[in-house]
């Protein structure tokens, strides 16, 4: 019986055909990608609608992951690969730890679970309830958001509370855009499947989804770790303005350098402005690019 890397295929959450890097052993095919230049692998598992992790490997008998229930597995696996490629090709980062660590995802977590998260060791995706969310791994920007939480943990370590927590959320959203730059929306591909044109958040118009886009409207609350998913609108808007003025290619290098070199666990919005300006100066000097970054943060009331 052959054993080793194979190429299979499947249909994602939205019914789209995808080629998959799989592994064959004893006549079973696994969502287990050994083809990346990493010491680990990209592996996808299922919690089988329970809540014990990491769950069992996502497998198929004929390397065709085509059943409806396999869509979440297909997309978690495929998009983890694209996010790995983004960090490796664009920033020279080898997995979230920059040391080739295995990227593990578990799908079908819980029942009708409208959440996705990085638990400190792996990614976990709910199937959604079909009204608020489709299976959450069905959106590339969501997968990029979750893996970026892991990158942040290994770099800036932004504490998940108040302004540093909102920055953590914002960096995850901003790299969600950098990986999937087709729009400035977050989660639109899996959010409210029965309603078109909406999203979980917007980088260009945070206010459209109840987020502030200026310090004057900072939301002081004790819930959601001090409103980390709300106040992220302020740095998100600054990122949008930066991208619009200097372009994605320069912006993503500035953001990656700020995240990996200058930001710290207790960085607040003002420290983020400084970190991004320092990264800009390192990479592009203190001319028009630098002024554009400074202007973006002034426009959201952070100096």
Ligand X SMILES: Cc1cccc(C(=O)O)c1OC(=O)C1CC1
Which among 91, 149, 229, 252 is annotated as catalytic?
A: 229
Whether 145 sits among the annotated catalytic residues: the reply is no
The piece of 101-109, 110-118, 214-222, 245-253 that touches ligand X (CB under 6 A) is: 110-118
Looking at 77, 91, 145, 146, which residue is catalytic? 146
Q: Is 146 in the site for ligand X (CB under 6 A)?
A: yes
Task: Report the nearest approach of ligand X to the CB of residue 170 (Å).
Answer: 11
Q: Is 115 in the site for ligand X (CB under 6 A)?
A: yes
Which does residue 134 bind out of ligand X, Zn ion, Ca ion, none, counting CB within 5 to 8 angstroms by kind? Answer: none
3-state secondary structure of 133: strand
145 lies in the site for ligand X, by CB under 6 A: yes
Binder to Zn ion among 123, 144, 147, 172 (CB under 5 A)?
Answer: 172
Per-residue contact track with ligand X, 185 to 204, x per CB under 6 A? -xx------------x----
- For residue 197, the tally of other CB atoms under 10 A from its CB is 7
Q: Determine the Cα angle at 194 with ends 193 and 195, to 5°.
A: 95
Can you read off the two tokens belonging to residue 226? Answer: 């001090």
185 binds, among Zn ion, ligand X, Ca ion, none (CB under 5 to 8 A by kind): Ca ion
Cα angle, residue 253 at apex, residues 249 and 255 outer, rounded to 5°: 115
Question: Which tokens in the block code for residue 49?
Answer: 């609608």
8 belongs to the binding site for ligand X (CB under 6 A): no
Q: How many CA atoms lie within 13 A of 225 on its CB side?
A: 16
Told to judge if 3 belongs to the known catalytic residues of this protein, a careful annotator would answer no
Is residue 116 close enough to count as binding ligand X by CB under 6 A?
Answer: yes
Binding site for Ca ion (CB under 5 A): 141, 180, 183, 185
Q: Give which of 35, 143, 6 is closest to 86, Cα–Cα.
A: 143
Residue 168 structure tokens: 């953590």
* Residue 247 per-residue DSSP state: -
Q: How far is the CB of 118 from Zn ion (least distance, A)?
A: 8
Region binding Zn ion by CB under 5 A among candidate stretches 172-180, 194-202, 205-213, 231-239: 172-180
The total number of residues shown for the chain amounts to: 303
Which listed option, ligand X, Ca ion, Zn ion, none, makes contact with residue 217 (CB within 5 to 8 Å by class)? none
How many residues contact Zn ion, by CB under 5 A? 1
| C-beta of residue 139 within 8 angstroms of C-beta of residue 170 | no
Q: Return d(Cα 88, Cα 96) in angstroms, integer.
A: 10
**Contact by Cβ (8 Å): 226, 162:** yes
Query: What is the bridge-based pairing of β-strands 185-186 and 56-57?
Result: unpaired
The residues binding ligand X (CB under 6 A) are: 115-117, 142, 145-146, 169, 176, 186-187, 200
Residues that bind Zn ion (CB under 5 A): 172
Q: Which residues are catalytic?
A: 146, 229
């Amino acid at each position: 019986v052959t054993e080793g890397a194979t190429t299979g295929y499947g249909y994602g959450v939205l019914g789209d055909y995808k080629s998959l890097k799989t592994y064959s052993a004893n006549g079973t095919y696994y969502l287990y990608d050994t083809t990346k230049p990493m010491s680990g692998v990209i592996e996808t598992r299922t919690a089988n609608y329970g809540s014990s992790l990491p769950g069992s490997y996502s497998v198929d008998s004929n390397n065709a992951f085509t059943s409806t229930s396999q869509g979440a597995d297909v997309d978690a696996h495929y998009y983890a690969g694209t996010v790995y490629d983004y960090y490796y090709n664009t920033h020279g980062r080898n997995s979230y730890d920059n040391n080739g660590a295995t990227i593990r995802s578990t799908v079908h977590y819980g029942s009708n679970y409208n959440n996705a998260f990085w638990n400190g060791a792996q990614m976990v995706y709910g199937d959604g309830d079909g009204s608020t969310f489709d299976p959450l791994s069905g959106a590339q920007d969501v997968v990029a958001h979750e893996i970026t939480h892991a990158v942040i943990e290994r770099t800036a370590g932004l504490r998940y509370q108040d302004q540093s927590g909102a920055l953590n959320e914002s960096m995850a959203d901003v790299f969600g855009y950098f990986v999937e730059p087709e729009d400035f929306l977050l989660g639109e591909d899996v959010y409210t499947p029965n309603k078109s044109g909406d999203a979980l958040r917007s980088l260009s118009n945070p206010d459209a989804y109840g987020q502030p886009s200026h310090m004057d409207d900072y939301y002081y609350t004790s819930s959601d770790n001090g409103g980390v998913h709300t106040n992220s609108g302020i740095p998100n808007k600054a990122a949008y303005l930066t991208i619009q003025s200097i372009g994605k290619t320069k912006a993503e290098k500035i953001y990656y350098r700020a995240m990996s070199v200058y930001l710290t666990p207790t960085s607040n919005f003002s420290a983020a402005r400084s970190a991004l300006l320092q990264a800009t100066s390192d990479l592009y000097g203190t001319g028009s690019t630098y002024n554009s970054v400074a202007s973006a943060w002034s426009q959201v009331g952070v100096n």
